[in-house]
Amino acid sequence: MAIYREFNSGVKSSPFGFLGPLLILAVFFSILFFVAKGLFRVLKWIAPVLLIATLIINYKVVTEYLLYIWRKLKEDPLIGLFFLILTVLGHPFVIGYLFF
């Protein structure tokens, strides 16, 4: 004879018990969205300066990255095109990465 225990976490006590965690999750992702949007906006304005600084410090970083994209386009056009689109759309982050 098996004995089963049931543990309630309070969700079954109210029909609206899911609204609290759902609201917290919505607020968290809203804050995350606005932080990412602000970071992208700041990096968008700083990106040209970072690119020039990267070219002055070590221009080979930029040329090797461009050669890497070119090699990917030649070897696997689909992946290369995907990388190229991501580079164009996310250029502030790519330039920041190349700088650091």
Give the separation between CA 77 and CA 82, rounded to whole angstroms: 8
Domain that holds residue 52: 46-100
Q: Considering the domain boundaries, does residue 83 fall inside one? A: yes
Say which DSSP state 10 is in: S
Of 12 and 74, which is predicted with more confidence?
74
| In-domain check, residue 12 | no
* Residue 70 resides in a domain: yes
| Burial group, residue 33, by CB count within 10 angstroms (0-12, 13-18, 19+) | exposed
The pTM of this model reads: 0.67
Q: How many domains does the chain have?
A: 1
pLDDT band for 9, please (50, 70, 90 cuts): low
In this prediction, what percent of the chain has a pLDDT beyond 90?
75
Tokens of 89: 């759309």
pLDDT tens per residue, range 42-90: 999 999 999 999 999 999 999 999 999 999 999 999 999 999 999 999 9
Is 60 domain-assigned? yes
Q: Is it the case that residue 33 has pLDDT exceeding 70?
A: yes
Confirm whether 87 is domain-assigned.
yes
